Amino acid sequence: MSLDAVLPDREPGRRPLLLLIGAMAFLAALALLGGLALGASAGGLARQLGDSATIQIVEADAELAATEAERALALLTGDPAVVAARAVPRAETAQLLAPWLGGAADDPALPLPPAIEIRLAPGGDAKAVARRLAVVAPAARVDVHADWLAPVARFADALVAAAAVIVALTALATAAVVALGVRAGLDAWRPTIDVAHLLGAEDKALALLFQRRYLKAGLVAGLAGSAGAGLVAASLAAAIGVGALEGAARQWWPWAVLVGVPVAAGALAGLAARVSVRAALRAQP
Amino acid sequence: MSSIVRFESVGLRYGAGAEVLRDIDLALDRGSLHLLQGPSGAGKTSLLRLLYFAQRPTRGRLHMFGEDVTDVGRDGLPALRRRIGVVFQDFRLIPHLSLFDNVALPLRLAGVSEGDVRAPVEELLSWVDLAGRRDDLPATLSGGEQQCVAIARAVIGRPDLLVADEPTGNVDAAVAARVLHLFLELNKLGTAVLIATHDHNLPLALPAAKRLRLERGMLVDPVTAPAAPTRPFRSLRKS
Ligand SMILES: Nc1ncnc2c1ncn2[C@@H]1O[C@H](COP(=O)(O)OP(=O)(O)O)[C@@H](O)[C@H]1O
Ligand SMILES: [Mg+2]
């Protein structure tokens, strides 16, 4: 029994405290899941598109355009900065434009600029490629995909940073709530704690008692909050598509978040309780 | 050195107030029996509080068990307190614990294993005639019975020093006699006992006890001090 029976585990405010820790864990888990998912998809997008570029021959004279396109393809195929080059068939371009032009896109008379798709070698310099191209095909316009991807990537980075701030704030709020709970607990049991001290109770035993109780509270509330966040995140992924949900479930990190958040909530609550008890007791005469 | 407690010019003040204890020089020997007398407000409780570290001297030195404990840190207190049994004036039993758990508390706080707790607790509950009520809560007991539980709890850790604050103040004459008998028995077993009282008749019940007298915060000679008004009945005042 020792101190556990001396200070029954039923001080006022325990329920609201569990609710608050649970809410913090919910927010933290959701922010982590969202942030990591965003980071992963932005990273995937950057990997897919970051090293590719499209070259268009913008020349009104169709014959000249075709000649320049041929010369450009020949140069690009041999260029050391380019891994792969492929002429985009006219039908493919027409299909891309169909949403804007409707049936007109299929009109063989429609002037469509010839296009070439390339993948740059790692570290390949798109500007140098463009300079070499300008010599053989002055009408070539190089569109590096990473250029228009950059704002998207910056936006994704900002969202990931916001998620990190949310996680930090929930951790801070959890520690503060635990400190308040410990104060309330120490106050509620003040007469009993005073007697226990006079009978030889040690501060460290008291600190350990509160640490254990809040560790448990953090784990339980954290599990509930984390489970809730998992359900919300799963239904969001399912709204995107069954594939997105299945894809996420195959990753390791969503599971790490769902398990890690309750563990972290328990550890944080236990530590905050220990520190608060020690501080409160040290302040006593 | 055979003193278990030694005060050297000890003074105590609460906050910024005047000193409630002044120039206390006092030595209690191992196994001794003392009565600390004095009118209400003289500082008896304050002096006892110094002995169980509820209060620290604001002046002078306090030695216990051969050590200077005047400035002992918070972490050093539990070990010292376990050598001192205290019977508080208001008992301070823990209301939500059974008699058994109340008496067992000092042992459990000291980390005694559960197997070694049962026998001494039951023995002490028998000693104070409460063996049959081990599972009852303190509130179901009379004042005198609560006093006995408080004494059992104070002595369970086999303290070197037992201090009791007005142990006969709240109980009837028969219980008072019984309580004093318990203290005498303990003292015969080697525990130093210090009893604070404003009851003028107590010295008659404990003729073997050495008398100390506090007046307005100072120790005075109990013999030359103005004679206490003799009263046929024990005072009902609480202090
Ligand atoms: N916690 C306290 N704060 C301030 N003054 C106190 C406190 N406790 C006792 N006193 C004062 O100290 C003096 C001695 O009190 P006390 O030690 O209780 O005397 P006694 O036990 O002999 O009646 C009294 O004047 C009392 O008012
Ligand atoms: Mg008193």
Tell me the C-alpha distance between A134 and A139, whole Å.
Answer: 7
Question: Measured between CA atoms, how close is A285 to chain B, in angstroms?
Answer: 8
Note the ipTM here: 0.88
Assess whether pLDDT exceeds 70 at residue A67.
yes
Q: Identify which of A1, A198, A202 has the shortest CB distance to residue B108.
A: A1
Residue B187 pLDDT grade (very low, low, confident, very high; cuts 50, 70, 90): very high
Could B101 and A203 be called an inter-chain contact, meaning their C-beta atoms sit closer than 8 Å?
no
- Average pLDDT (B191-206) is 90
Assess whether pLDDT exceeds 70 at residue B196.
yes
pLDDT in tens, B14-31: 999 999 999 999 999 999
Could A200 and B106 be called an inter-chain contact, meaning their C-beta atoms sit closer than 8 Å?
yes
C-alpha B66: how far from its chain's center?
Answer: 20
Would you state the pLDDT for residue A285? 65
Range with lowest mean pLDDT among A77-86, B79-88, B105-114: A77-86
Question: Measured between CA atoms, how close is B103 to chain A, in angstroms?
Answer: 11
Residue A81 pLDDT grade (very low, low, confident, very high; cuts 50, 70, 90): confident
Contact B47, B24 (CB under 8 A): yes
Assess whether pLDDT exceeds 70 at residue B38.
yes
Assess whether pLDDT exceeds 50 at residue A35.
yes
Partners of B75 on chain A (C-beta within 8 Å) are 202-203
Longest dimension (CA), chain A: 102
Would you state the pLDDT for residue B224? 67
Question: Measured between CA atoms, how close is A8 to chain B, in angstroms?
Answer: 9
- pTM more than 0.80: no
pLDDT in tens, A230-258: 999 999 989 988 888 888 888 899 999 99
Assess whether pLDDT exceeds 80 at residue B109.
yes
pLDDT in tens, A187-198: 989 999 999 999
Could B105 and A281 be called an inter-chain contact, meaning their C-beta atoms sit closer than 8 Å?
no
Residue B238 pLDDT grade (very low, low, confident, very high; cuts 50, 70, 90): very low
Tell me the C-alpha distance between B17 and B217, whole Å.
Answer: 13
Residue A159 pLDDT grade (very low, low, confident, very high; cuts 50, 70, 90): confident
CB within 8 Å of A40: residues ≥ 6 apart: A251, A253
Q: Ligand 1: list residues with CB < 6 Å.
A: B 14, 17, 20, 38, 40-46, 239
* Angle, alpha carbons A199-A200-A202 (nearest 5°): 135
Would you state the pLDDT for residue B211? 94
Residues of A with CB under 8 A from a CB of B: 1-3, 5-6, 8, 191-192, 195-203, 205, 281-282, 285
Structure-model confidence comparison of residues A8 and A23, the more confident one: A23
The phi, psi pair for A92, rounded to 5°, reads -65, -45
Could A282 and B74 be called an inter-chain contact, meaning their C-beta atoms sit closer than 8 Å?
yes
- Percent of chain A whose predicted confidence (pLDDT) is above 90: 41
DSSP-derived secondary structure for B48-111: HHHHTTSS--SEEEEEETTEE-TT--GGGHHHHHTTEEEE-TT----TTS-HHHHHHHHHHHTT
Say how many CB pairs under 8 Å bridge A and B: 55
Could A196 and B109 be called an inter-chain contact, meaning their C-beta atoms sit closer than 8 Å?
yes
Tell me the C-alpha distance between B37 and B210, whole Å.
Answer: 11
Would you state the pLDDT for residue A145? 80
Partners of B100 on chain A (C-beta within 8 Å) are none
Q: Which atom of ligand 1 is nearest to the CA of B165?
A: 21
Helix/strand number for chain A, H first, E second: 10, 4
Structure-model confidence comparison of residues A221 and B226, the more confident one: A221
Would you state the pLDDT for residue B28? 96
Residue whose CA is closest, atom 7 of ligand 1?
A: B14
